[in-house]
A and B are shown apart, each in its own frame.
Chain A
């Protein structure tokens, strides 16, 4: 079955430190990968995507993600966390030649001052 796993329910990091939010996937064929962020009482906002090409993709608000085909991972990273980055982060995959997204369960990022 095709799926996305976010192994951490919550990630805590101090402001100014680097952060990583993990995502692994299981799909057949080449996937399209996405990260979305959800702030309290808001809808999901697109952060970045991997379609093809360079394994390191850069997105909004200083976030980046690294696609690793051998490890089937697409971890979200930021060099220096801000308190305002505190939110719920979702990884999603669109299997090749389909029109639907499969979402992970979400990881809550808490950045402490």
Chain B
């Protein structure tokens, strides 16, 4: 009963390093999302995907790239990490984005520190 799984759970990077965060869902959901959570700012949408092979920008996309090569996976990449990207990152999935009955299911998060 995995749901949404994020790896890694924790990571420390040096400024300028790159990394990829992996999100996997086993619910056959069409929509997937990447958020960042910062104190006093709630959750802000970075990028999202409405289906395999598609991606779209959210509220704060700069400095991040994403890919959705397989329906069950959504990857978030940082090409050159900056201290401003220190945050907790959450992935979510949903059967459909526009059906009001559907909700988003969240992973446990990845805590990233950029020194």
Which residues from chain A sit less than 8 Å from chain B, CB to CB? Answer: 6, 9, 32, 34, 36, 41-46, 49, 51-52, 90, 94, 97-101, 103-106
Separation of A9 and B42 alpha carbons in the complex (Å)? 11
**Could you mark each residue 73-104 of chain B with 1 if its beta carbon is under 8 Å from any beta carbon of chain A, else 0?**
00000000000000000101000111011011
- Please, which residues of chain B bring their CB within 8 A of the CB of A94? 100
> Across the interface, do A100 and B108 meet the contact criterion of CB distance under 8 Å?
no
Interface size on B, residues (CB 8 A): 27
* B58 in the interface (beta carbon within 8 A): yes
By beta carbon, the residue of chain A nearest B48 is: A100
Task: Check B109 against A100 for contact (C-beta < 8 Å).
Answer: no
Contact across chains for B58 and A100 when beta carbons are under 8 A apart: yes
Query: B interface vs A, CB < 8 Å?
Result: 4, 31, 33, 35, 40-45, 48, 50, 58, 90, 92, 96-98, 100-101, 103-109
Across-interface contacts of B40 in A (CB, < 8 A): 9, 105
Cα A43 to Cα B35 in complex, Å, equals 11
Contact A51 B100 (CB under 8 A): yes
How far apart are the CA atoms of A32 and B97 in the complex, in Å? 12
Contacts A44-B90, A46-B103 aside, 7 further interface pairs with beta carbons under 8 A come to: A43-B90, A52-B100, A90-B42, A98-B98, A99-B48, A101-B104, A105-B42
